[in-house]
Amino acid sequence: MNTYFNDKIVWITGASSGIGEALVRQLAIHTNATIILSSRHEDQLYSVAEKAGLAVNRYAVIPLDLSNYKEMPAIAAKAVEKFGRIDILVNNAGLSQRSLAMETDIEVDKRVMDIDYTGTVALTKAVVPYMIRNGGGQIAVVSSLMGIFGAPMRSGYAAAKHALHGFFDALRAELYKQKIEITIICPGFIQTDISIHAVTGDGSAQGTMDHATMKGMPVDLFAKKMLHAIGRRKKQKVIGGKEVAAVYLKRFFPGLLAKVIRKAKVV
**For the chain, percent helix, then strand, then coil, each to nearest 5?**
55, 15, 30
What is the distance between the alpha carbons of residues 121 and 24, in angstroms, rounded to a whole number? 22
What is the distance between the alpha carbons of residues 221 and 190, in angstroms, rounded to a whole number? 9
Domain ranges of the chain: 3-263
What is the distance between the alpha carbons of residues 82 and 88, in angstroms, rounded to a whole number? 14
What is the distance between the alpha carbons of residues 36 and 81, in angstroms, rounded to a whole number? 11
What pLDDT sits at residue 123?
Answer: 98
Which segments of 135-264 are extended strands (E)? 137-142, 180-187, 236-239
What pLDDT sits at residue 266?
Answer: 63
What pLDDT sits at residue 267?
Answer: 61
43: CB partners within 8 A, 6+ apart: none
pLDDT tens for the chain, 267 residues long, are 679 999 999 999 999 999 999 999 999 999 999 999 999 999 999 999 999 999 999 999 999 999 999 999 999 999 999 999 999 999 999 999 999 999 999 999 999 999 999 999 999 999 999 999 999 999 999 999 999 999 999 999 999 999 999 999 999 999 999 999 999 999 999 999 899 989 999 999 999 978 888 889 999 999 999 999 999 999 999 999 999 999 999 999 999 999 999 887 666
What pLDDT sits at residue 211?
Answer: 82
pTM for the structure as a whole: 0.95
Q: Are strands 88-91 and 137-142 parallel, antiparallel or unpaired?
A: parallel
3-class DSSP assignment, residue 78: helix
Q: Which CATH architecture has domain 3-263?
A: 3-Layer(aba) Sandwich (3.40)
The full length of the chain comes to: 267
Instruction: Give the count of beta carbons closer than 10 Å to the beta carbon of residue 2.
Output: 11
What pLDDT sits at residue 116?
Answer: 98
Is 46 among the catalytic positions? no
**Catalytic, out of 4, 69, 157, 176:** 157
From the number of C-beta atoms within 10 Å of its C-beta (0-12, 13-18, 19+), residue 232 rates as: exposed
